[in-house]
Homo-oligomer: A and B are copies of this chain.
Amino acid sequence: MRVSVDICVVPMGVGASVSAEIAQCVEILQRHGLHPRSHPFGTAVEGEWDAVFQAIRACHEALHAAGVPRLMTTLKVGTRVDKPQSLDDKMRALADRLTPLPP
Spell out A's residues near B (CB within 8 Å). 1, 3-4, 6, 8, 10-20, 22-23, 26-27, 30, 37-42, 44, 49-50, 53, 56-57, 60-61, 64, 69-82, 87, 90-91, 93-94, 96-99, 101
Contact A41 B42, beta carbon cutoff 8 Å: yes
Contact A75 B74, beta carbon cutoff 8 Å: yes
Given contacts A10-B10, A78-B70, A80-B69, is CB(A90)–CB(B16) below 8 Å?
no
Copies in the complex: 4
- A11 partner residues in chain B, CB cutoff 8 A: 12
Given contacts A10-B10, A12-B12, is CB(A72)–CB(B76) below 8 Å?
yes
- A61 partner residues in chain B, CB cutoff 8 A: 1
Contact A60 B1, beta carbon cutoff 8 Å: yes
Q: How far is the CA of A39 from the CA of B12 in the complex (A)?
A: 20
